[in-house]
A and B are shown apart, each in its own frame.
Chain A
Amino acid sequence: MDFFPGPPNDFPASPGFTQVTIAIPSQCPARVVHEIHGNIAVEVQAINADCGHASIIAQIIDQNGNNIASATLNELGLGQINMPVKGSFSTPLSVTSFTLQFFLNPFHCNPGSSQVVSWSLAMS
């Protein structure tokens, strides 16, 4: 399934739930995550009549379902909202794969409106 039919940072044409699993290469040992920091951002790049708002849930989850970072963000009209992420884990997570989950509220009409979720997260 092609989750990204458009340019690399575009969502699919149909809003809804999307998840992408990223395995850590087998030649690499599992990564132990004690701490995470970075950001998750949402921007509305184009609007169409009443269809110009972003409402998203974004999560990054390990292979056991442990949630490493989660955000629910709304942006009304053209603009960007940025959420700093900073967290630590009392029990470090041994991670062999990540699943990126996105949910975009179906209220947002297509074509004519454009929302982008981006994130940059460092873990150690």
Chain B
Amino acid sequence: MKRWLAGRVAQAVVTFALAAVLLFVLMRLAPGDPLGRLATQRPLTPDEVAVLRARYGLDQPLARQFTAWAGALLHGDLGTSIEYGRPVAGLIAERLPATLLLGGAVLLVNFTLGLWLGVQQAIRRGALVDRGLTVLSLAGYAMPSFWLGLVLAWLVGVRWRVLPPAGMSDPLLDPAAGLGARAADLLAHLALPALTLAVVSIAATMRYQRRAMLDVLGFPYIVAARAKGVPEGDVRWRHAWRNALFPVLTLFGLWLPILATGSVFVESVFAWPGLGSLAAEAVGTRDYPLLMGATLLVSALVVAGGLITDLAYAVLDPRVRFG
């Protein structure tokens, strides 16, 4: 087990290191250099751009650029944002909590409603409910998240005035308001972005759960339980679902890239002050160090998600450890 664990952790570290190198190469392969487009958006003279190039080390040979960049990265230094003039790591740390809150809310919806719907589909396999839910969830998956966000902000936020269409808190809220009122305000602002991301991502959860449940329902021990006269509800939830929950773990690893991608669009549409809107902003201002920092963090999260999934498997299923 210890050897397996050490090997798996080493593999994750190598994967991330390779990803970081690939990203660095990618940036340098792209036509022009990261600062080449700065002057198109700002009143900068060529001399000022040259000073910036020197500050970011872009006038150095490629190998030296790489060692400087990688060395800083090892120390947790992601460079300095061009737009903000502040360390990228600090900016990202400020924006991370909002994204984690949004992601956590979406995860909660997915792993309650999504799992339940997937089970319902499996036990009614082939029926109208099953096929209808498949089409509906695929329709959600086929929606561009930014468009769904805009439509919801327009209908629910502006037209019907049910929920706030943007931001994370009401600027007019009394600063002396109690914790309850502030939490209610936060939840109201969270509702639309979380709903948008849940709609576009729930299909994956439902399909995984449906498939896993179908697999388990085909096992002989289910037939045996039914033959023994175990009530159908117990067969489904106590016998089948427990084992069908297991493959859904894999989804956690698949889920992070979907969430990261969706949050770029959804956070910008709803002006949610998270990592996604920060990345979209960095694209708009051509703030390369910031965009690179956000990308590295997302990749680290994806690698860590895969690692955690595998570890959870190993803890729950001895066949992984000893197989």
> Is chain B a partner of chain A in the same complex?
no
Q: A residues near B, CB below 8 A?
A: none
